[in-house]
Amino acid sequence: MHKTDVIIVGGGQAALSVGYFLRRTGRSYQILDAEAGPGGAWRHGWQSLRLFSPASWSSLAGWPMPPGPDRYPTRDQVQDYLQRYEERYALPVQRPVMVKAVTRYEQGLLVQSADDAWQARAVVSATGNWRCPYTPSYAGLANFRGLQLHSAQYVDPASLAGQRVLVVGGGNSGAQILAEVSALAQATWVTEQPPRFLPDDVDGSVLFQRATERWRAQQEGRVVEALPGGFGDIVMVPPVREARARGVLVAREPFERFVANGVRWRDGSESAFDVVIWCTGFRPALEHLAPLGIVDAHGRVEVATHGTRSVIEPRLWLVGYGDWTGMASATLVGVMRSARATAQEIDEALGRDPP
């Protein structure tokens, strides 16, 4: 049984960001990461995955991401940056540790893995979303005989060459995966709503500036005109622009149901597919918090949080899961505000006891 002031569950960008600010308080803390090495969810992104913001707009607090040969950093660049960031600030990461449960005891919270346990006065959950890929429910899905992949499992298009591929999902992952798959396979793109493409000169840095302006307006009680562009809109990174030039960046409306060898469209016609790639997002990975009774039927706790702090269990904070835990907090640069506020709040909550 180990004792510490704070346990951070997770080892990706949100966990490291909280660790960076928490180290300034002098409180004892430990980061528990389920992965085998540094990088968090970036260890599992597909090979050609790239950010849609320049390195200068994709950095954690304290140390800018070094620029690479291209404007938009690749998956490997981000993973390398997070590893070097962890080493630079000597953040106390223990891995691999899969946290199974967080429970209450008299003086705080008990964090348990299969082989170990930690007593903490405060816990930060920063596990992200990657371990909980979401696939929508479609009629007839159980009858489909083809291969199904979620973007969480997709690696590269080489094994799909010459096949009939259905890409489902209208965000940046859907557009980027469609772009490279369509170069080797017969690809069809389906989106729930018509995809929203940003102008070629608008990237993630502009989106973050707009999100910051909205956040400042909220803090000051001001009303700002609706600013175009959101993090769900598609950024025209070079592979997506190239797909547009080939004329393949065209989405179809949702289909009615699956059939054994493909899908049936709403007009009654059918199309055969060998593979479906689901680019339909993720849900928060919060299974370890189930014993606390704070997770709702949808797998979220947003109705019971004040900022990043749980209302039902005030010794628990949640960071990096999306706007409900801080505007743009699921992004590299956007998590800084939430992480800094969380570390300060924890230090104040632990009171005047010496670190």
Q: What is the pLDDT of residue 297?
A: 72
CA neighbor of 319 nearest in space, from 37, 40, 25: 40
Q: Identify the pLDDT of residue 211.
A: 64
Three-state DSSP state, 303: helix
Q: Check: CB of residue 272 under 8 Å from CB of residue 285.
A: no
Is residue 144 within 8 Å of 260, Cβ to Cβ?
yes
CA distance 164 to 271: 9
Give the helix/strand (H/E) hosting 19.
helix 13-22
- In order of start, what are the domains of the chain with their CATH numbers? 2-132+282-349 (3.50.50.60), 141-197+234-278 (3.50.50.60)
Strands 251-252, 316-318: pairing is unpaired
Q: So what's the pLDDT on residue 189?
A: 98
**Could you say which residues of the chain have pLDDT below 50?**
228-229
Q: Are 138 and 276 in contact (CB under 8 A)?
A: no
pTM beyond 0.75, yes or no: yes
Q: Tell me the chain's radius of gyration from C-alpha atoms.
A: 22
The secondary structure of residue 158, as a DSSP letter, is: G
pLDDT tens digit sequence for 190-211: 999 999 898 888 766 666 666 6
Distance, in Å, from the CA atom of 34 to the CA atom of 330, rounded to the nearest integer, reads 18
| Residues linked to residue 3 through DSSP beta bridges, in sequence order | 119
CB 187 within 8 A of CB 60: no
pLDDT of residue 225: 58
